[in-house]
Amino acid sequence: MTFPAQRLRRLRQSPAMRSLVAETRLSAGALILPAFVREGLSEPKPIGSMPGVQQHSRDSLKRAAREAVEAGVGGIMLFGVPEKHDAEGTGAVDPEGILNVAIADVRAEVGDELVVMSDVCLDEFTDHGHCGVLTDDGVVDNDRTLEIYAQMAVAQAEAGAHMLGPSGKMDGEIAVIRQALEETGHTATGLFAYSAKYASAFYGPFREAVNSQLKGDRRTYQMDPRNRREALSEVEADIAEGADMVMVKPAMTNLDVLADVAEFSSVPVGAYQISGEYAMIEAAAERGWIDRKTSILEALTSITRAGATSILTYWAVDAARWIREA
């Protein structure tokens, strides 16, 4: 046979060669560790649907943050799990609420060695599990919710968060939060908008992690998974309102959207490798159906290849160590 002069396998013949010509490279500093802190715990509590992930006590959260720094992880995103819930989610704005004190704990532990981020949403704090307060007929009230988000954002900024993650998908939330931060002097606090956040079946394990009280679903405010172009409208609006970074969530089922957003966006683009993605890989690896490390790194590489400059992943510490070892 006569072969063409160009043999593409030449650049695949050894690990060193493949590394030399790799188009996509994972970075430990681009990884963000989502972490849960639960009020009243004296020791960590395992999350059944997310093997290896736990609800932290305040002390174990500080240790986890220090471990992330030592592994070279770039950031940590904090979620609070209160003991009590109510219709208004009042624990979210209480300076002594679990999320706000945890922000202060982590900031005191790691200072500026890790970007300390926090979730701006009411779903962990309400007794109905929705991301906002409800009208008398059970519909999420967008504008009343924005008033609470503004208070919540200021409380988190005052607790020491470097960057806030508004994830409730209320119209206008970035503008309202940005204005509240500016008016209270928190001009350096960043906003990482959950711009293209889809209603997904893969959030199930997360709801266990935050002890969600959800009744019904969130399809009236989270995006319809059937829509692609709409994501660009969401991103455009959030950037115009003052977002410093934007996000696509979930990552796995929206790599096409992530590529669109990465090409379109004028600000850095993140993606959230969510709880269901984590649970599926861990479950398959536990049964010996796939290789755990290789599968995790392949999944993270695909998200990076699609255009993410940062990735929220529950494997942040493991992956960061593997990357640094390599």
User: Is 273 a member of any domain?
Assistant: yes
DSSP state of 126: B
CATH number of the domain within which 44 lies: 3.20.20.70
What pLDDT score does 7 carry? 83
277 occurs within a structural domain: yes
**Cα angle 224, 308, 92; round to 5:** 65
Q: Nearest Cα to 249, choosing from 267, 275, 274, 268? A: 274
CA proximity to 144, closest of 128, 132, 156, 155: 132
Question: Which structural domain range is residue 64 located in?
Answer: 26-218+229-325
**The total number of residues written for the chain in this structure:** 326
Look at the block and give the residue holding tokens 């109510």: 86
Of the candidates 103, 113, 35, 43, which has an alpha carbon nearest to the alpha carbon of residue 73?
113
CA dist., res. 246 & res. 97, Å (int): 27
The answer to whether residue 260 sits within a structural domain is yes
Angle value at C-alpha 310, between 307 and 315, nearest 5 degrees: 115
pTM: 0.96
Look at residues 144, 175, 294, 308 and name the one whose alpha carbon lies nearest to residue 242. Answer: 175
- Pull the structure tokens for residue 21: 């010509």
**What does the pLDDT profile of the chain (326 residues) look like in tens digits?**
676 678 888 899 999 999 999 999 999 999 999 999 999 999 999 999 999 999 999 999 999 999 999 999 999 999 999 999 999 999 999 999 999 999 999 999 999 999 999 999 999 999 999 999 999 999 999 999 999 999 999 999 999 999 999 999 999 999 999 999 999 999 999 999 999 999 999 999 998 999 888 878 899 999 999 999 999 999 999 999 999 999 999 999 999 999 999 999 999 999 999 999 999 999 999 999 999 999 999 999 999 999 999 999 999 999 999 999 98
b/e string for 117-135 if b means 16 or more Cβ within 10 A?
bbbbbbbbbbebbbbbbbe
Q: Is residue 7 part of a domain?
A: no
Residue 268 dihedral angles phi and psi, to the nearest 5°: -60, 150
CA separation, residue 242 to residues 5, 132, 231 (Å) = 52, 21, 17
Q: Determine the pLDDT at residue 3.
A: 67
Q: Is residue 20 a part of any domain in this protein? A: no
Q: 11 in a domain, yes or no?
A: no
Joined tokens for residue 274: 């969510």
Owner of token pair 């679990």: 98
- Angle among Cα 288, 250, 49 to the nearest 5 degrees reads 45
pLDDT value at residue 241: 98
Q: Catalytic residue positions?
A: 197, 249
In a domain, 10, yes or no: no
Tell me whether residue 204 is in a domain: yes
The CA-to-CA distance between both ends of the chain, in Å, stands at: 39
Domain count, the chain: 1
